[in-house]
């Protein structure tokens, strides 16, 4: 789907997109490049955020789609949508650090919510956010997500998710009605 007003093209990722998507996610969350945007996790996690295998797994899963957003032929954002019965799960959300703060994230999340509702009939969107990411949680709250207080442990010791720089990391479930 192309939106003329924004010059953005939304499409499902393919195998050919894996390397570009890994680079995008890493640039949005890890290392010095991520500091150009406000979503960086560089101060709380080192190492990788994802890898080619993880991205390919989302692309290949029958209950998932990896929504890819292009502008001028370049991938500038992405997010995972997973069908989980009455709700959809939103994850692997990344916006190019140099484009953050200009409304692209709002556009992507709105399209993801629309797709989950129209494609799967989802009545809620669920996501998990690292609980110490107060600025990010506040951003989601401004988009209608609410904190549930339900947490799950961070996978300490599994470097596929990064190398924690602090001992108090956990995920909190955020939920938004889509009706």
pLDDT tens across the length of the chain (179 residues): 545 446 899 999 999 999 999 889 888 766 566 565 556 665 666 665 678 888 999 999 999 999 999 999 999 999 999 999 999 999 999 999 889 888 999 999 999 999 999 999 999 999 999 898 898 999 999 999 999 999 999 888 877 777 777 788 899 999 999 97
What is the extent of the structural domain holding 144? 2-177
Classify the phi-psi angles of 139: left when phi > 0, otherwise alpha if psi is within -120 to 50, otherwise beta: alpha
Q: How many domains does the chain have?
A: 1
* Whole-number Å distance between alpha carbons of 53 and 3: 30
Q: Kindly report the pTM of this predicted structure.
A: 0.88
CATH number of the domain enclosing 109: 3.40.630.30
């Amino acid at each position: 789907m192309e939106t003329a007003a924004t010059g953005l093209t939304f499409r499902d990722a393919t195998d050919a997109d894996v390397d570009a998507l890994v680079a995008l996610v890493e640039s949005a969350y890890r290392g010095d490049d991520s500091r150009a945007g406000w979503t960086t996790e560089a101060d709380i996690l080192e190492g990788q955020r994802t890898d080619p295998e993880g991205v390919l797994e989302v692309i290949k899963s029958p209950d998932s789609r990896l929504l890819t957003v292009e502008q001028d032929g370049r991938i500038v954002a992405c997010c995972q949508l997973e069908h989980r019965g009455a709700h959809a799960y939103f994850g692997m959300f990344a916006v190019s650090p140099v484009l953050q703060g200009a409304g692209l994230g709002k556009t992507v999340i709105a399209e993801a919510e629309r797709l989950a509702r129209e494609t799967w009939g989802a009545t809620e969107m669920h996501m998990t956010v690292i609980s110490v990411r107060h600025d990010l949680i506040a951003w989601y709250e401004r988009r209608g997500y609410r904190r549930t207080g339900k947490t799950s442990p961070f996978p300490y010791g599994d470097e596929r998710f990064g190398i924690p720089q602090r001992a108090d990391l956990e995920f909190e479930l955020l939920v938004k009605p889509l009706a």
